[in-house]
Amino acid sequence: MPAPSAFLLVAALSATTAHSTQSLVQPADESIDLGSLIEEGGAVRLAGGTLNITGPVVLVTPWVDAPIPFTALGSHWLAGGSGEFEIELQVDARPSRWFAVASDPHSATLPRLADGSGNRAFGDEVGTLLLFGADHATRWRARLSFSPEHGSMTLDHLSLVFIDGSDSREYQGQPRDDGYAKPPIYSREQWGADPPQCSSDYCSVTHLGTHHTASPGAYDSQGFDDCASNVRGIQDYHMYTRGWCDIGYNHLVCKHGKMWEGRAGGDDVRAAHDGYNCGSMGVGALGYFHTPYNDMPTFSLLDAYAELYAWKADQKGIDPFGRDYYVGYAGLMDNIYGHRDVKSTACPGDLLYSELPELRQEVDDRLGGGTDIWIYDNPSAQTRGPWTIGNTAPGRYGPDYLFAGTDPGGRDLCYWSHFIDDPGFYRLFAWWPSGSNRSPAARFGVLIDGDLYTTTFDQQSGGGQWNSVGTYWMPRGRVHFGLANDAAPGDVVIGDAMMLQKD
């Protein structure tokens, strides 16, 4: 096993009550017995409680018992010198995974306390919050990687924040507003929020801000209990580590499509999600939608965003495709925007940010602003397996198309999705550029309410036109349509464009 880590660990302990975490950064009280962790030598030195590193080294601690069972794990640290410093954490609730702890994009350093008292590790860099749902961990260990560029690097301390977010109450019903129905949102009482530590400020909402929580482990959730525990963990971290007065987001959504009330105060309350805030409703998705975790937004999560945004857009007269004056930002901004549009940040992650054009369309469709015809070209398709972009065949729709080699029983997919707001009969069409190497039995399908309907086409003909796939009764909800590479070998299938038309 690698040499034990040589560092000063100060445990920032939570109170033992569920989802109530009072951070205590008091090194004299909670410092680890360094004699049991340190093995000095080579590039590793300890001087007066500070770790000095003079060369590349990876340090791994032994397993350490946590002061309480925990469902979320935060961190903050004070390091110096130039070079790369990486922290990874492992817990016994997920013993096969190391979680990379990057600097939290929402808060670079810990602020001073609002009341001006002790600085509570003022200036520490804050790590992303690790979330384990309703599963309790009891032990942890850390792996630290140092690569000094010039001279040495120092680590004055690394503090951990243990949070127990267990306890949950299922959804019991939600009042509905006039106009577009308010979706079912779990209230603060239902997910067990701590009371805010400040009064509420209000700004009329004109913009809808899209975020992710950048929380490793959040996508392991299995349902309500895990998501509720994760939301409580985020509130605790925001309040008792960052020193905020409440959770930062106005609302949160999870991969199961569940929606959660965030900041206390109701409609138009000013939250703390993008640095400007006044005039924006910020919605955070539980997950990490870029490297290194690359969580993929689920259809349920995207539907939750569309429902929240459609409700608020209808209530406030917000044009989902518009670009209006954002008061807090003091400038023009897309009415539905991503955090990175107003700040230098990766949030909401590439995989979620790329969904914003479709999300705007989904909101517009829900509000009845669209037409009865929707055309989906290949750039908006989702794929599974190796699909290649082509742009040479005549008769293509738009500048290019996708193609994949055929394989009997193949599961490579090219597909689109659409939210049906108005139940009824809909006609589905497909477009492709024909050619001699195309499959004579390309299998198209549509998934409606869990039932799959398929038909085959000879793509050696029928190119450069809309070909009818069929007419289907579609209830309210999301439908998926596209094609697979399941056909006799030696050919290719073409995913170019599809059109949905209401009868």
d(CA 206, CA 281): 8
Owner of token pair 């880590």: 5
d(CA 419, CA 368): 12
pLDDT in tens, 198-242: 998 898 899 999 999 999 999 999 989 999 999 999 999 998 888
Which among 66-75, 126-135, 370-379, 380-389 has the top mean pLDDT?
380-389
- 346 and 416 fall within a common domain: no
pLDDT in tens, 163-203: 887 664 443 334 334 578 899 999 999 999 999 999 988 98
- Domain assignment present for 169: no
Structure tokens that stand for 40 in this block: 């000095």
- 205 and 348 fall within a common domain: yes
- 189 and 331 fall within a common domain: yes
pTM, whole model, 2 decimals? Answer: 0.67
What is the CATH number for 452? 2.60.120.260
> What is the per-residue pLDDT for 170?
44
Q: Which residue has the higher pLDDT, 62 or 168?
A: 62
- 206 and 335 fall within a common domain: yes
- 491 and 458 fall within a common domain: yes
- Domain assignment present for 396: yes
- Specify whether the CB–CB gap between 418 and 366 falls below 8 A: no
User: Which range of residues forms the domain containing residue 312?
Assistant: 185-366
- 77 and 199 fall within a common domain: no
Owner of token pair 């989802």: 19
Q: DSSP labels for 363-387?
A: HHHHTT-S-SEEEEEGGG-EEES--
- 378 and 300 fall within a common domain: no
- Domain assignment present for 218: yes
- 321 and 392 fall within a common domain: no
Binned at pLDDT 50, 70 and 90, residue 414 comes out as: very high
Domain final position from 338, 366, 394 = 366
Binned at pLDDT 50, 70 and 90, residue 369 comes out as: low
d(CA 259, CA 261): 7
Which among 71-75, 174-178, 240-244, 496-500 has the top mean pLDDT?
496-500
Query: What value does the mean pLDDT of the chain take?
Result: 83
> What is the per-residue pLDDT for 18?
33
Mean pLDDT on 480-502: 96
- 289 and 355 fall within a common domain: yes
Q: State the DSSP code for 242.
A: S
Q: How many domains does the chain have?
A: 3
- Domain assignment present for 1: no
- Specify whether the CB–CB gap between 467 and 430 falls below 8 A: yes
> What is the per-residue pLDDT for 122?
59
3-state helix, strand, coil in the chain (%, to 5): 15, 35, 50
CA torsion 234→289→368→309, rounded to 10°? 20
- 384 and 264 fall within a common domain: no
- Domain assignment present for 173: no
- 37 and 149 fall within a common domain: yes
- 68 and 88 fall within a common domain: yes
Domain final position from 329, 350, 366 = 366
